[in-house]
Structures are given as C-alpha cells and as structure tokens.
C-alpha cells in the first residue's frame, strides 16, 4: 500500500518527534547525544516515514567495521539500531520500505557488504519482517536486554 513517503530526517525538531515515537513503541531508549550522533554522522540512513506532514515511523542506522556475521573476515556493516512505526500505521509496508531504503543506501553509498540487527526473541512481528527481507538468525545473544530477555542477532548480505 502506498500513501507514505520515506526520506532522511531533516531537522532536530524532527529528531525530537522520532524520540517521542521511540518512547511509545519500544522499551529500548537512548540518551539524546546517542540520537544526535546518528543524526549527525549517518543522516542518510536515519530515515523518517511520513503520512501527509506527520512522521509516523523511523529507522536509525549506523555503519561499522566488524567481523562478518554472514561474510568472512572484517567487513563494512550496516547496523539497524532502532526501527519503529506507530501502531495506527502498521501493516501497510512502512517498516519494509524503511528497511529497503536503508539497505540500498548502506550498499550503494557506503559499500557495506552486510547488514545486521538485534531483536528480542519474543518480537514476532519484527522477526517476521526481517525474515521476509531475507535476514537470517545468526545467533542468540543471551540476556542481551536490561530485563534479561535474549536477542537474536539477524543479518543478511547486501
Ligand atoms: N504479526 C505478524 N507478522 C507481522 C506483523 C505482525 N504484527 N507485523 C509485521 N509483520 C510481518 C508481515 O510478514 C508483514 O507483511 P504482510 O503485512 O504483507 O503480512 C511484514 O512483516 C512487513 O510488515 P510492514 O507493514 O512493513 O511492517 P510495519 O510497518 O507494520 O512495522 C514493526 C513492523 C516495525 C515491527 C512494527 O510492528 C513496530 O513498530 N513494532 C514495535 C517496535 C519494534 O518492535 N521494532 C523493532 C525492534 S528491533 C530493532 O529495532 C532492530
Ligand atoms: Zn544493535
């Protein structure tokens, strides 16, 4: 379904709106400097989804060098740090579009060879979204979250 647009976050005012969305959609929150660091350094993979004038979702990513999760050796990796869509706007392809755009920029602009993320083992909607996008569960990160829940590390080639 269409009716939304995806584009990089444009201002610190929009960043504050993204943080509000994070507060109501996810248990993982971050200090302001952490958001600002991503907005400053990787703005073209810090994406907003808009319906009309309103931001209804975001995808905050970064670029790292690390030991490959799906490729061998040290590789340039895109890291999806946090993605969320407001409940009223779910199941219309917005998160998929946010992921596809971020992966395109990670590959084309940054030359990343793979993309990875962590997700709660209980977060079935998100796991299904990632599996639909060809991510695979690479390993379990025991007690990854503050409340003791495990994470799947999921990754795919770019
Ligand atoms: N139940 C089952 N499958 C689902 C669900 C669900 N509730 N939601 C999405 N999916 C799967 C489906 O296969 C769906 O395709 P379909 O609608 O054709 O069946 C596919 O994912 C794509 O769905 P989208 O519409 O693109 O996803 P949406 O815009 O609804 O956003 C998201 C999905 C981001 C997981 C949303 O539910 C959300 O914001 N959840 C709360 C925040 C969250 O958990 N974020 C991820 C944390 S992990 C991280 O940030 C790295
Ligand atoms: Zn992470």
Query: Ligand 1 within 6 A of 59 CB?
Result: no
Q: Whose CA is nearest to atom 10 of ligand 1?
A: 125
Q: Is the pLDDT of residue 29 over 90?
A: yes
| Count of domains for the chain | 1
Q: Output the pLDDT for position 121.
A: 98
Domain carrying residue 123: 5-157
Asked if 154 contacts 120 with a C-beta cutoff of 8 angstroms, the reply is no
Check pLDDT > 60 for residue 1.
Answer: no
Per DSSP bridges, beta strands 74-85 and 114-120 are parallel
pTM (two decimals): 0.98
* Residue labelled with tokens 């109501």: 24
Q: What pLDDT score was predicted for residue 2?
A: 58
């Amino acid at each position: 379904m269409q009716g939304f647009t995806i584009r990089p976050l444009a201002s610190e005012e929009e960043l504050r709106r993204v943080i509000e969305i994070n507060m109501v959609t996810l248990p993982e929150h971050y200090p302001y400097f952490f958001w600002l660091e991503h907005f400053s350094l990787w703005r073209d993979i810090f994406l907003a989804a808009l319906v009309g004038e309103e931001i209804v979702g975001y995808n905050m990513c970064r670029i790292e060098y690390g030991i490959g999760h799906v490729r061998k050796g040290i590789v340039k990796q895109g890291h999806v740090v946090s993605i969320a869509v407001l409940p009223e706007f779910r199941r219309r392809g917005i998160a998929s579009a946010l992921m596809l755009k971020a992966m395109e920029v990670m590959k084309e602009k940054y030359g990343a060879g793979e993309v990875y993320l962590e997700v709660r083992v209980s977060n079935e909607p998100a796991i299904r979204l990632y599996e639909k996008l060809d991510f695979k569960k690479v390993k379990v990160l025991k007690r990854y979250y503050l409340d003791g829940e495990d994470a799947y590390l999921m990754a795919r080639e770019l």
